[in-house]
Structure 1
Amino acid sequence: MLYAIGTKVRFRYTGESGVITALLDEGMMQVRLDSDPDLEIPAFEEDLVRNEDAEPISAGAKFIPAKRENAPEPPPRRKLNAQYHILKPKGLQLAFEPMPGRDGTVTRYKTWLINDTAQEFLLEFDLYTDARDVLIVDDKIPATAALELGDMLYDDLNNSLEASVNVQRITTEGPSEPVQKTLKIRPKQFFNNVQTVPILNLLAHHFLLFDSFEHKKEESGEDLKNYTKQKARSPKSASPASTRFGAFNVEEFAS
Structure 2
Amino acid sequence: MEKFNPRTFEPPNPQTLNFQAMRFPIGTKVKFIHTGDEGTVVSLLDAETLNVRITGDDMEIPVNIENVVPAGQYVAAAQPIKGKPKPQMNIPPPPPRHVPPAVGVPVKAGNAQYAIIKSMGIQLAFDPIYKEDGSPEKYLIYVINDTRMDVVYNFTLFMGKRAVLEHSSKLNGLHYERIGEMLFDQLNDSPSVEMECWRLLTDEGGKKLKKELNIKAKTFFTKVLTAPFLDRPVHHFRMFEKHELELADEKEASAEDLKSYTERNIQPQSKIIHHQSEPRHEVKQMAEFNPELDLHVENLVKDQRKLNNADILNLQMRRFEQYLDQAIRIGVDRVFIIHGVGEGKLKNAIATILMQHPHVKTFKNEYHARYGYGATEVEFS
TM-score category, normalised to shorter length = 0.5 to 0.7
TM-score normalised by length of structure 1: 0.54
**Structure with the higher strand share, 1 or 2:** 1
Choose the corresponding residue for 1:81, options 101, 108, 112: 108
Give the whole-Å Cα distance in 2 for the aligned partners of 1:193 and 1:103: 23
Q: Percent identity?
A: 32
Cα-to-partner distance string for 1:133-177 (whole Å, 9 max, x where unaligned): 231001111111111010101122112111000011011232111
Quote the offset at 1:87 in angstroms.
Answer: 2.2
Give the whole-Å Cα distance in 2 for the aligned partners of 1:209 and 1:131: 21
Quote the offset at 1:131 in angstroms.
Answer: 6.2
Distance 1:131 1:180, change over 3 A: closer
Paired residue secondary structure (1:204): strand
Q: Which residue of 2 aligns with 1:106?
A: 136
Contact 1:131 1:159 survives alignment (8 Å): no
Q: Which residue of 1 aligns with 2:201?
A: 171
Q: Which residue of 2 aligns with 1:155?
A: 185
Q: Following superposition of structure 1 onto structure 2, how do residues 1-255 of structure 1 map, counting pairs within 5 Å?
A: 76-84=103-111, 85-130=115-160, 132-211=162-241, 212-213=244-245, 214-215=247-248
Distance 1:132 1:145, change over 3 A: same
Distance 1:131 1:156, change over 3 A: farther
Quote the offset at 1:122 in angstroms.
Answer: 0.8
Distance 1:210 1:174, change over 3 A: same
Q: Of the two, which has the highest radius of gyration?
A: 2
Contact 2:103 2:180 survives alignment (8 Å): no
The more displaced of 112-121 and 129-138 is 129-138
The more displaced of 171-180 and 76-85 is 76-85
The more displaced of 172-181 and 192-201 is 172-181
Consecutive unaligned residues of structure 2, counting only runs of 5 or more, are 1-101, 253-273, 278-381
Paired residue secondary structure (1:86): coil
Give the whole-Å Cα distance in 2 for the aligned partners of 1:79 and 1:200: 13
Contact 2:159 2:191 survives alignment (8 Å): yes
Contact 2:103 2:179 survives alignment (8 Å): no
The more displaced of 107-116 and 75-84 is 75-84
Quote the offset at 1:98 in angstroms.
Answer: 0.2
Q: Which residue of 2 aligns with 1:15?
A: none
Match of 1:157, as an amino acid? L
Give the whole-Å Cα distance in 2 for the aligned partners of 1:154 and 1:132: 17
RMSD of Structure 2 on Structure 1 (CA): 2.6
Match of 1:81, as an amino acid? K
Give the whole-Å Cα distance in 1 for the aligned partners of 2:182 and 2:193: 12
Give the whole-Å Cα distance in 2 for the aligned partners of 1:76 and 1:89: 24
Q: 4+ runs of 1 displaced by more than 4 Å?
A: none
Give the whole-Å Cα distance in 2 for the aligned partners of 1:77 and 1:188: 29
Report the number of matched residues.
150
Quote the offset at 1:186 in angstroms.
Answer: 0.7
Match of 1:185, as an amino acid? I
Give the whole-Å Cα distance in 2 for the aligned partners of 1:186 and 1:76: 25
Paired residue secondary structure (2:164): strand
Consecutive unaligned residues of structure 1, counting only runs of 5 or more, are 1-74, 218-227, 232-255
The structure showing larger relative contact order (alpha-carbon pairs under 8 Å, at least 6 residues apart) is: 1
Give the whole-Å Cα distance in 1 for the aligned partners of 2:103 and 2:212: 26
Match of 1:152, as an amino acid? M
TM-score normalised by length of structure 2: 0.37
Quote the offset at 1:77 in angstroms.
Answer: 2.0
